[in-house]
Amino acid sequence: MSSRRLVFAFYDPHWVRERDPIPLLSQTPVTALEYENLMEKKLYCPQCYESIIRVPCDENKPTLSDGKVAYFRHVLNDNHPPCNLRSGPVVGRSYATEEEARRAIEDEEFIVLTGFMQAKPANNPREDWDGEEDPSETHFEDANGRPVDLPIARHRGQEFKLPSKISSVQALVVNFLKNYYREIILVKDDNSVSRFLFCDVLKNINLINDEVIHPSFYFGVVTDVDEWASHNTIWLRVDNRANLQDFRVKVKNEVVNDRGWTKERIVGRVIVFYSTIRSVGTGYWTYNDLCWGEVAILPAKYNDFILTQHNND
């Protein structure tokens, strides 16, 4: 993302920050240009859940006097919790006790991942692909990971032992805007820790101009699909061929088949994946065949947001 300005806020006419638990917040995303005056004092930050206001506050004014487009900002509060969406440097959250950190995980304030599923989970009951919310029950895309020691305590040098998940990209994108500003702590096999917001690391493949040796999250629009003996090659749209000639994502055949990704269903859709990037021919590819948890099709209702708002705010 090019700035820390909020792209959207959550609107809930009934939720009260000081009274209600976070899971009860209705996570209905609203952009500054969709704002209505009745939403005043009912908008909340999608990361810290503190109150958000729209500038200017009148729904009939889409721009400021200097011509800048209307935007959201946090209500001024000297006692506000740390939030990566406020102006200023990024500061990860810290917790006073291990119990407090565990509660934050239960409330989905952040996610601890120790890997991505390599195969379809045995308890996944889905057979048909509905083209939208696949899957709607994201717990079928999660498994318990190993306990990990994390340096997220308020006292320097102290670590908390916390539970982790082995999850999937699909679990992240099925409720895309809910997870867009979510903090993710990724613990690798060597116990090295990466801490980031999902929105900060998710990149359009058209921004790639070199190989990437450390895996990260990428997305692109599907233009074609070729089937081979062990994998499907999914071709992505290239917007500027002066910088990039072609881009392809390799996905294991069993993943494509089990998720129902026929050419007719996914051409024109946005694919999101977690991978390293290698050069091939006149372009780039994922090199390794992606597994069940490393690739997903974004629900169609989020296409406009990711293609027009993400990386452009």
Predicted confidence at residue 88, as pLDDT, reads 56
Flag the least confident range among 4-13, 99-108, 110-119, 218-227.
4-13
What are the residues whose beta carbons fall under 8 Å from the beta carbon of 226, sequence distance 6 or more? Answer: 232, 233, 235
Between CA 247 and CA 280 the distance in angstroms is: 9
Between CA 73 and CA 179 the distance in angstroms is: 19
Predicted confidence at residue 5, as pLDDT, reads 66
Between CA 248 and CA 236 the distance in angstroms is: 6
**Position 3 pLDDT exceeds 60:** no
Encoded tokens for 30:
């609203």
Give the mean model confidence (pLDDT) for residues 90-95. Answer: 73
Predicted confidence at residue 126, as pLDDT, reads 55
Between CA 288 and CA 303 the distance in angstroms is: 26
**Position 153 pLDDT exceeds 70:** yes
Flag the least confident range among 79-88, 89-98, 134-143.
134-143
Angle at 186 between CA 283 and CA 129, to 5 degrees: 65
**Position 282 pLDDT exceeds 90:** no
Encoded tokens for 163:
């539970």
More confident residue, 93 or 147: 147
In 3D space, the residue among 290, 253, 257 whose CA is nearest the CA of residue 271 turns out to be 290
Give the mean model confidence (pLDDT) for residues 45-69. Answer: 90
Q: For residue range 181-193, what is the model confidence (pLDDT) as tens digits?
A: 889 999 999 999 9
Per DSSP, the residues of the chain read -----BSEEEE-SS--TTTS-GGGS--EEEEGGG--GGGTT-EE-TTT--BEEEES--TT--B-TTSPBPEEEEPP-TTPPP-TTSSSS-----BSSHHHHHHHHHTTSEEEEEEE-SS--TT----S--SSSS-S-GGGG-EE---EEE--BSSTT--EEE--EEE-HHHHHTTHHHHHT-EEEEE-TT--EEEEEHHHH-EEGGG--S-EEEEEEEEEEEEEEEE-SSEEEEEE--S-TTT-S-EEEEEEHHHHHHHT--HHHHTTSEEEEEEEEEEETTEEE--SPB-GGGEEEPPGGGHHHHHHTTTT-
Q: What is the pTM of this model?
A: 0.83
**Position 4 pLDDT exceeds 60:** no
**Position 16 pLDDT exceeds 60:** yes
Residue type, 80: H
More confident residue, 128 or 44: 44
**Position 1 pLDDT exceeds 70:** no
User: CA–CA distance from 90 to each of 6, 38, 125, 153, 196 (Å)?
Assistant: 14, 32, 40, 17, 9
Contact 187, 160 (CB under 8 A): no
Name the average pLDDT for the chain. Answer: 88
Encoded tokens for 269:
């859709």
Between CA 49 and CA 187 the distance in angstroms is: 26
**Position 313 pLDDT exceeds 50:** no
